[in-house]
Structure 1
């Protein structure tokens, strides 16, 4: 822990020097702001690496030495919200199977070929729901002051993977409710619930055998607890909930 505290002190001192230099050399507020932000990003990258190395060392010391043999250290990199970081973590072999393990990756939930941090992935996926992939990549780079640089194809792959996970989660929930009869948790019981369903067809990107763009069915489900009148005399739905999904009607319930 003393080494970690010492390292944090060094990083803080480096950041102070960056700010001092910016104060003397920045010609205007924008230049000052950019210099301070980039200095803070560099400090954050060093802090992340310090934390990762400290946790990896702790895992090594606390492991079961009879079952896990520490072989060596191997490098890894990750694009985070403050930019790309690189560090080394310890590689282990299980006894007697010889299975390969990286304890740090397991504790942090990092997949073997994951290139981006969860925060970058989440923000990128959310941004892709609002703008095209190329525009999302540009926005990520701009709002991070150049620290996050992803390609449109990388964002597309993340969106596809997130969609597949969401589809599996919805399938599991659907099976739990309609096949096993499990009642999902709720905050309170409702005296009555009105349900409405509809379908909207939109053109997709893929073309069918006839050369025409395929139509995608958007399934809409609306639930509400009756109707009421607001202060302006308009009819409103009480506690309205809207659910939209893509797929066949029987699989989208």
Structure 2
């Protein structure tokens, strides 16, 4: 019996067929991805510098992806020149297999953390998308705190002179009844929005996670300088008035070099 016969003869409703097909596609994706990864790893083994890379053994690993778990085996080598062990597949595909999380899943989790009101809600939303609890709220929190370097890069070309800012705080519970919840301050920046078919996309969107005890706007200003070539010196009086008048929870816009409150920002990206 093929998959179409199985679904139509055993499922009674649209929802059941949709869920069954989704699970079947997850399984097919895992099988195809596993075969592809192991084939790439085999080719790397055949073409490697055998004098430098000594094959030690094969290691099995499981990576969580947007389509569920993918389990595969990859070769583990001793790099004689560097005197360390390595996976050639990890280096070739530019990913860290020890993290057990795919790059796409990581970016999705960070994006949900910014959009949702808490890390727990982000974890529940991710579980609904994939079909099972794939990451804990604490794991998502750690991804957000570590996201600045791997997930952000300076904007190559500015879209305009205005930066739109959405700011919020995510509360993280601490162990112990008397300990107050810790609030992580997260700011989303973009240069406006454009329509892509039926969707609205933000232009040059970046996320800033405030760490440390310093003022949030001081760290955010440095972030803007690195990401958007923002110049706080030109028009600094306007910028200072805007920064003093803004609470980090209030959406705002950097117009020129000054931060000014705005009423609302369209969502949908």
Give the shorter-chain TM-score range: 0.5 to 0.7
Normalising by structure 2, what TM-score?
0.59
1:7-26 aligned at under 5 Å gives the runs: 17-26=2-11
1:247 to 214, 217, 232: 217
Match of 1:28 in 2: 13
1:43 to 28, 31, 50: 28
2:138 to 153, 162, 172: 153
1:215 & 1:36 partners in 2: Cα distance? 39
Matched, 1:72 2:42: no
Match of 1:116 in 2: 101
CA RMSD of aligned residues (A): 4.0
Number of paired residues? Answer: 197
1:196 & 1:97 partners in 2: Cα distance? 45
2:184 & 2:20 partners in 1: Cα distance? 49
| Residues 120 and 136 in structure 2, CA contact (< 8 A), matched pair in contact too | yes
Cα distance change of structure 1 residues 215 and 93 upon mapping to structure 2, 3 Å threshold: closer
| Residues 61 and 73 in structure 2, CA contact (< 8 A), matched pair in contact too | yes
Cα distance change of structure 1 residues 133 and 222 upon mapping to structure 2, 3 Å threshold: closer
Match of 1:181 in 2: none
Match of 2:128 in 1: 142
2:63 & 2:134 partners in 1: Cα distance? 12
Q: CA deviation at 1:194?
A: 7.2
Match of 1:60 in 2: 45
Higher relative contact order (CA 8 A, sep 6+): 2
Q: Give the match's secondary structure for 1:45.
A: helix
Give structure 1 stretches of 5+ with no counterpart: 1-15, 174-183, 188-192, 224-239
Larger radius of gyration: 1
Cα distance change of structure 1 residues 205 and 143 upon mapping to structure 2, 3 Å threshold: closer
Match of 2:84 in 1: 99
The worse-fitting range, judged by mean Cα deviation, of 114-123 and 49-58 is: 114-123
